[in-house]
Chains A and B, each alone.
Chain A
Amino acid sequence: DAGVIQSPRHEVTEMGQEVTLRCKPISGHDYLFWYRQTMMRGLELLIYFNNNVPIDDSGMPEDRFSAKMPNASFSTLKIQPSEPRDSAVYFCASSLEGVQYFGPGTRLTVL
């Protein structure tokens, strides 16, 4: 298996622009997680899905963030409008029975 796939790997955008991050989980995994990692705040869980249904979005920082999982093999995390404080590495992870497998991450820089 190719593992969790994320795209893009790097994104540089200007404040106010819309950003869409993409994730393809490992086939057969029924949980999908979105995390954000920064030096200041560490690794934060933003939202997670079970069988494509959002279970807990309490970690989503504000209404500018939204996530969808239209099918078992694809999820998006959208930021609109983006702000410099959103600069971070965003990880997607998937799991079947506990162990979470992380994707390579998307490094987002908002200027």
Chain B
Amino acid sequence: GAGVSQSPSNKVTEKGKDVELRCDPISGHTALYWYRQSLGQGLEFLIYFQGNSAPDKSGLPSDRFSAERTGGSVSTLTIQRTQQEDSAVYLCASSLGGAETQYFGPGTRLLVL
């Protein structure tokens, strides 16, 4: 596709369950970012992938959060043992390596009951 896509668009889960969120970046973009946005809050950086380099995980809030990027393209953000405070919109963005401008996906709205 022409833009960044994310799936699912909405996810409702029960506290304690694991969830996987998927991001398909723009083809050819080597940089990929995950952010979290809570209601009325700014974008909170979670993790950054650049090419084959080790990801920058400095924004992950706890060890329940992890992310992978396979083949330098698709990325999956996994949240284990979800908590109610994990409820937020999870946004993925990609960019050309070394470029500043980020292209965002529509986000996955996660609700933990």
- Pairing of A with B: no
What residues of chain A have their CB less than 8 Å away from a CB belonging to chain B? none
